[in-house]
Amino acid sequence: MSTHRAVPQIWKSAGLLVPGFLLFGVASASAQRIEKHFKVEASPVVTIHNPNGAITVKAWTKSEVLVIATLGSGHVDLEAEQNGNRVDVMTRQITDSVAPDDLRADYQINVPQDSELQIHNDSGAVSVANVLGNMDVETIAADVDLQDAAGYLTIATVGGSFQCMRCAGHIEVNSISGSFRLMDTRSKHVRAQTSTGNILFSGEFLPNGEYRLKNYSGVIELRFLPGDSFDVSATSLKGKVNNQAKLTPPNHSYQSTSKYGQALVGSFNTAGHAHVDLTSFDGTINIVKRD
């Protein structure tokens, strides 16, 4: 004889409610989306401090800064405030002893095109597109990707890589182990220094431009077109210098090559107006024709 006991209706209802409560609890611990709008005037300053996450900044035509934050957990909160024409955005840790994934906050930020950006992001990624104001980006491990940027661009990473596509203005980038790719740049001043990373430069050599690429080890690759014009000095103390550019000797005697390591000095296409300085301690320097 079966001994099923009828389940009281109240327990049936509770059985339905408990999973609902559990789901609600899970939802409150998962991603939280916050959106904030700030009206600004021309050339606002936008600062972002974030320990971990992806920061994506895009330009738009509105006189407004839009901040959309996706917080990885309830252990962090968004602090965003405006002081005049300055908007400060920060990820604030609410509780102690938080797991790294719970510190994550991702940002999508829309800014006027002439905004000045100051971004500090320890890990994750930083991506900026079409912003023409000055930029100061500092990361530890986060990679930095700039597209169609201009202004005075200062980037410092410890181990993060740097890529700059179609950037103009003044570019200074420093890293210890990060690698750099500067593609289709239209900058008159490029200074890139890394210790163990590689550096690739494939851009325009503007008249009176200065292009200094330096590393300790790794590869420095400079790509040129047949119509480019520049003076070049390339030195690798312990490594090699490989050159595909047909150079004419320098006009000035003090532009002689170093007696240490492999070096070359010369002009590409008559007296170049741009100056290119490539230095490596024991890495390889390649001066190659662009395809």
Partner 1 sequence: MAAIDCKQFLNQLDAWMEGQRTADAKAHARNCNVCRSMADDLGSITAAARSLAAEELEPPAHVWTSLRAQLEREGLIREQVSVGQITEPKTSAAGWRRWFGAIPRPALAGAYLAALVAVGVALSGPISKRVNDYRWIQGTQESTSPLSAQLNSVEQTTMASLPSSNPVVTAVLHKNMAIVDNYITLCEKSVHDEPENEVARDYLYEAYQQKADLLAQLNERGD
Asked if 248 interacts with partner 1 (CB under 8 A), we say no
- How far apart (Å, rounded) are the C-alpha atoms in residues 53 and 63? 26
Asked if 195 interacts with partner 1 (CB under 8 A), we say yes
Contact partners, residue 165, CB within 8 Å, separation at least 6? 145, 146, 147, 148, 183, 184
Asked if 235 interacts with partner 1 (CB under 8 A), we say yes
| Residue 205 CB neighbours (<10 A) | 26
Q: Where are the beta strands (DSSP E) in 113-229?
A: 116-129, 135-139, 143-147, 152-157, 162-165, 168-175, 180-183, 186-194, 199-202, 210-215, 219-224
Q: Which is nearer to partner 1, 68 or 176 (CB)?
A: 176
In the complex, what is the shortest distance from the CB of residue 268 to partner 1, in angstroms, rounded to a whole number? 16
What tokens appear for 183 in the block?
């593609």
In the complex, what is the shortest distance from the CB of residue 237 to partner 1, in angstroms, rounded to a whole number? 6
Question: Taking CB under 8 A as the rule, which mask of x and - marks residues 264-283 in contact with partner 1?
Answer: ---------------x-xx-
**22 three-state secondary structure:** helix
In the complex, what is the shortest distance from the CB of residue 151 to partner 1, in angstroms, rounded to a whole number? 23
In the complex, what is the shortest distance from the CB of residue 122 to partner 1, in angstroms, rounded to a whole number? 5
Under 8 Å between Cβ of 66 and 24: no
Asked if 261 interacts with partner 1 (CB under 8 A), we say yes
Asked if 254 interacts with partner 1 (CB under 8 A), we say yes
Return the amino acid letter for 106. Answer: D
Out of 44, 51, 72, 239, the only residue in the binding site for partner 1 (CB under 8 A) is 51
Strand 274-280 with 186-194, pairing: unpaired
Burial of 100 (0-12, 13-18, 19+ CB in 10 A): exposed
In Å, how far from its chain's centre is CA 71? 21
Residue range at the interface with partner 1 (CB under 8 A); choices 16-24, 80-88, 108-116, 231-239 = 231-239
Residue range at the interface with partner 1 (CB under 8 A); choices 54-62, 147-155, 181-189, 235-243 = 235-243
Question: Taking CB under 8 A as the rule, which mask of x and - marks residues 123-162 in contact with partner 1?
Answer: x----------------xx----------------xx---
Q: Which is nearer to partner 1, 66 or 261 (CB)?
A: 261
Look at phi and psi of residue 184 and say left if phi exceeds 0, alpha if psi is from -120 to 50, else beta: left
Residues 63-82 that bind partner 1 (CB under 8 A): none
Asked if 176 interacts with partner 1 (CB under 8 A), we say yes
In the complex, what is the shortest distance from the CB of residue 81 to partner 1, in angstroms, rounded to a whole number? 22
Q: Which is nearer to partner 1, 64 or 122 (CB)?
A: 122
Residue-by-residue DSSP string for 159-178? S--EEEES-EEEEEEEESS-
- Chain residues binding partner 1 by CB under 8 A are 51-52, 93, 98, 100, 103, 122-123, 140-141, 158-159, 176-177, 195-196, 216, 235, 237-238, 251-255, 258, 260-261, 279, 281-282
